[in-house]
């Protein structure tokens, strides 16, 4: 089968001209001024979770929970046909409204390109420079800016799928695997918080696998992050509705780090249970449930995991665990004590040896357990 570069060479004369003259920056621009400015890109989620960026408590809605494929939150900004950027990056298939698969036409390397407005792109690169190539955070390879500097393309290595899709395919994760992956997630969040960065839009889709065996997990990028330092009070109500913390909906300002911890709690619950702790097809009802803060942890979740979820999903931000407390929690530092069912609908009776006895009567009537199984992952 003809690869993308060969296809480009064959159809090159018919491709549209470059949208603008581009200038390739040779490095990550570590000297770019860092500040608390942040991007205004909308989040990508599918029904029934509405694809909105919550701003001032209002937003546009499109439905209820997670779907197999993300519904873009904005009109695509990538061309509908393969287009060359920076003289060497061939944009091929859009991933969503802000990311596109790409191929380096000289090395044939597969890449991922994000498009942002110029200021947001420079802030993104500056935040990555601040992290200094921290383990657990993918670093951009290059940034290409338009001649007017109003638009930029940030180039990242390709990945092997995100954690959202991984959980969706497996329906939910066993605790041993969830421990391994969640430890990496929490360690990455801890590194960002120590550097003064609040991630704001923490969710499963933000973490991607960097190897085909899906053993290495990293934060896709620092897009949507904001530099806060020690004082982390924010006013901008930004995030994915399914992961938004209750104080973001009820207060004019909130602690960015505490809101990130709520997002970690939603991630852990979804990894172990296979659905969101708060869900509704109506946005107002969803936000009402989040404000109330009531959720149920299924009985097959171990006691330690249940305790960690509860400690993260506290309505009061002051009562939530800090990320360092999460890393030292017994669920992450000790082997799993409880053995959850392989599947809540699995009622296989284990083989047991019963000593025969003549005085035993007929087998007593057994009461079948009715399992009220919620819709799996809401399409997760």
- Looking at the structure, tell me whether residues 246 and 147 fall in a common domain: no
Residue 9 to residue 3: CA distance in whole angstroms: 10
Residue 116 to residue 151: CA distance in whole angstroms: 6
Range of the domain at 240: 163-333
In the beta sheet, which residues pair with residue 47? Answer: none
Q: Which residue has the higher pLDDT, 238 or 106?
A: 106
Which pLDDT does position 146 carry in this prediction?
81
Residues acting as catalytic residues:
201
In a domain, 44, yes or no: yes
- Looking at the structure, tell me whether residues 175 and 318 fall in a common domain: yes
In a domain, 368, yes or no: no
pLDDT of 1 strictly over 90: no
- Looking at the structure, tell me whether residues 15 and 50 fall in a common domain: yes
In a domain, 348, yes or no: no
In a domain, 52, yes or no: yes
pTM above 0.95, yes or no: no
What band does 337 get if pLDDT is binned at 50, 70 and 90? low
pLDDT of 234 strictly over 60: yes
Average pLDDT over residues 331-353: 57
- Looking at the structure, tell me whether residues 28 and 54 fall in a common domain: yes
Q: Whose CA is closest to 41, among 121, 101, 144, 95?
A: 121
- Looking at the structure, tell me whether residues 94 and 221 fall in a common domain: no
**Whole-Å CA distances, 342 to 272, 338, 359:** 11, 12, 36
Percent of the chain with pLDDT over 90: 51
- Looking at the structure, tell me whether residues 222 and 278 fall in a common domain: yes
- pLDDT (tens digit, 9 = 90+) per residue, 292-319? 999 999 999 999 999 999 999 999 999 9
pLDDT of 72 strictly over 60: no
In a domain, 24, yes or no: yes
- Looking at the structure, tell me whether residues 38 and 114 fall in a common domain: yes
Number of domains comprising the chain: 2
The 10 Å Cβ neighbour count of residue 80 is: 8
- Looking at the structure, tell me whether residues 45 and 96 fall in a common domain: yes
- Looking at the structure, tell me whether residues 145 and 228 fall in a common domain: no
Residue 235 to residue 238: CA distance in whole angstroms: 9
- pLDDT (tens digit, 9 = 90+) per residue, 18-71? 333 333 322 222 323 323 233 333 333 333 333 233 333 333 333 333 333 344
* CATH number reported for the structural domain that contains residue 199 in this entry: 1.10.510.10
In a domain, 230, yes or no: yes
In a domain, 21, yes or no: yes
In a domain, 112, yes or no: yes
> Of 125, 157, 189, which residue sits at a domain end?
157
Instruction: HSE, CB side, 13 Å, CA atoms: give it for residue 200.
Output: 30
- Looking at the structure, tell me whether residues 52 and 132 fall in a common domain: yes
What band does 236 get if pLDDT is binned at 50, 70 and 90? confident
* CATH number reported for the structural domain that contains residue 117 in this entry: 3.30.200.20
- Looking at the structure, tell me whether residues 8 and 131 fall in a common domain: yes
Mean pLDDT of the chain: 75
- Looking at the structure, tell me whether residues 222 and 186 fall in a common domain: yes
């Amino acid at each position: 089968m003809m690869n993308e570069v060969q296809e480009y060479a064959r159809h090159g004369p018919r491709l549209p001209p470059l949208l603008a003259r581009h200038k390739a920056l040779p490095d990550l621009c570590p000297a770019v001024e860092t500040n608390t400015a942040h991007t205004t890109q909308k989040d990508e989620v599918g029904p029934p979770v509405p694809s909105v960026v919550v701003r001032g408590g209002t937003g546009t809605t499109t439905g209820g929970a997670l779907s197999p494929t993300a519904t873009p939150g904005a009109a695509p900004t990538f061309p509908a046909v393969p287009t060359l950027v920076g003289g060497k990056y061939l944009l091929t298939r859009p991933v969503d409204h802000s990311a596109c698969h790409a191929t380096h036409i000289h090395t044939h390397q597969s890449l991922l390109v994000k498009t942002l407005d110029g200021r947001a792109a420079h802030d993104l690169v500056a935040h990555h420079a601040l992290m200094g190539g921290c383990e657990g955070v993918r670093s951009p390879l290059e940034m290409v800016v338009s001649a007017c500097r109003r638009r930029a393309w940030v180039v990242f290595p390709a990945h092997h799928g995100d954690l959202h899709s991984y959980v969706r395919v497996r329906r939910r994760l066993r605790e041993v695997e969830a421990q391994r992956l969640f430890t990496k997630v929490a360690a990455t969040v801890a590194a960002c918080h120590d550097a003064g960065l609040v991630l704001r839009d923490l969710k499963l889709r933000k973490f991607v696998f960097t190897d085909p065996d899906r053993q290495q997990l990293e934060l896709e990028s620092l897009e949507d992050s904001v530099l806060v330092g020690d004082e982390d009070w924010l006013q901008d109500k930004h995030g994915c509705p399914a992961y938004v913390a209750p104080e973001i909906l009820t207060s004019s300002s909130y602690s960015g780090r505490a809101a990130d911890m709520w997002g970690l709690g939603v991630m852990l619950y979804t990894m172990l249970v296979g659905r969101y702790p708060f869900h509704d097809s109506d946005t107002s009802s969803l936000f009402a449930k989040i404000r109330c803060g009531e959720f149920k942890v299924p009985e097959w979740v171990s006691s330690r995991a249940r305790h960690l979820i509860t400690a993260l999903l506290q309505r009061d931000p002051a009562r939530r665990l800090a990320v360092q407390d999460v890393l030292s929690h017994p669920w992450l530092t000790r082997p799993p004590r409880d053995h959850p069912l392989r599947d809540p609908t699995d009622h296989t009776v284990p083989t047991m040896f019963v000593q025969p006895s003549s005085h035993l009567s007929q087998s007593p009537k057994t009461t079948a357990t009715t399992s009220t199984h919620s819709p799996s992952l809401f399409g997760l």
